[in-house]
């Protein structure tokens, strides 16, 4: 039984591995960061970090956090791949809105097999990005190159394309969808206000958007070519 858990971690173990990878990649994710992301107590996170270390999936240092081992990273990327493919399927084939796919994919990702995941990838034409613009790991864990940066870190006059939205709040996603600020949208930065971080950008239809600092930080863009 113990061997089965290591090769096919439980749903809760998988959620923690994904959270560590999404927060820190190959670095260390803090206890608070994971607690906030998963809406659990710091004590629960500390206990799980110790458990992940015992399973050989992470290295845990008190006051620094947890970083994934090679096996932990492979498992996290397997789940991220599955989650993002399911999101894409829900949007493209089942008529879900982009603000609804995350929660549904969270439920489904623990119920399907690797074979299902690969058949889904085949059906979808092996997409590189999910509905929010996030990269979908390949079956071997490889990721497409990432050349995006937050809109809040751009320069005035720069021309960009929205490549990704890093926000899971459905209300925020509905708002951005209403503005048309979705992956693929072209923008020209008009102002980046140092005082409060507000970014003013004009879209391809000539509509100007004033975005507060948190929102501007969660919209990732790349230079238009």
Q: For residues 48 and 17, give the distance between their C-alpha atoms in angstroms, rounded to a whole number.
A: 10
186 sits in which H/E element: strand 186-192
**pLDDT for position 2:** 43
**Total tally of structural domains belonging to the chain:** 3
**pLDDT for position 47:** 95
CB 46 within 8 Å of CB 59: no
Domain end position, chosen among 14, 49, 68 = 68
Domain end position, chosen among 41, 68, 95 = 68
**pLDDT for position 8:** 63
Whichever domain contains 211, its CATH number is 2.30.30.90
Structural domain span for residue 174: 149-223
End-to-end CA gap in the chain: 53
Residue 4: CB atoms within 10 Å: 9
SS3 state at 179: helix
CB 163 within 8 Å of CB 222: yes
Instruction: Kindly report the pTM of this predicted structure.
Output: 0.85
Give the closest residue to 200 by CA, choosing from 167, 155, 147, 149: 155
Q: Please list the pLDDT of the chain residue by residue as tens digits (225 residues).
A: 444 334 567 888 999 999 999 999 889 999 999 999 999 999 999 999 999 999 999 999 988 899 999 999 999 999 999 999 999 999 999 999 989 999 999 999 989 999 999 999 999 999 999 999 999 999 998 988 888 999 999 999 999 999 999 888 899 999 999 999 999 999 999 999 988 999 999 999 999 999 999 999 999 999 987
**pLDDT for position 169:** 87
């Amino acid at each position: 039984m113990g061997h089965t858990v290591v090769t096919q971690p439980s749903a809760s173990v998988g959620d923690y591995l994904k959270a560590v990878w999404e927060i820190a990649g190959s670095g260390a994710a803090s206890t608070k960061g994971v607690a906030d992301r998963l809406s659990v107590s710091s004590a629960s996170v500390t206990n799980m970090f110790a458990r992940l270390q015992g399973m050989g999936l992470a290295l845990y240092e008190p006051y620094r956090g947890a970083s994934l081992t090679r096996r932990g990273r492979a498992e996290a990327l397997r789940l991220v791949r599955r989650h993002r493919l399911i999101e894409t399927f829900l949007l493209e084939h089942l008529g879900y809105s982009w603000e609804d796919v995350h929660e549904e994919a969270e439920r489904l990702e623990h119920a399907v097999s690797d074979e299902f995941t690969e058949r889904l990838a085949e059906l979808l034409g092996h997409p590189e990005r999910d509905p929010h613009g996030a990269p979908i790991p390949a079956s071997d864990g490889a990721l497409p190159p990432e050349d995006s940066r937050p809109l809040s870190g751009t320069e005035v006059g720069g021309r960009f394309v929205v490549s990704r939205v890093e926000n899971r709040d459905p209300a925020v996603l509905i708002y951005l969808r209403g503005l048309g600020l979705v992956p693929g949208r072209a923008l020209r930065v008009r102002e980046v206000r140092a005082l409060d971080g507000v970014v003013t950008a004009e879209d391809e239809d000539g509509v100007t958007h004033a975005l507060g600092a948190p929102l501007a930080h969660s919209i990732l863009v790349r230079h238009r070519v």
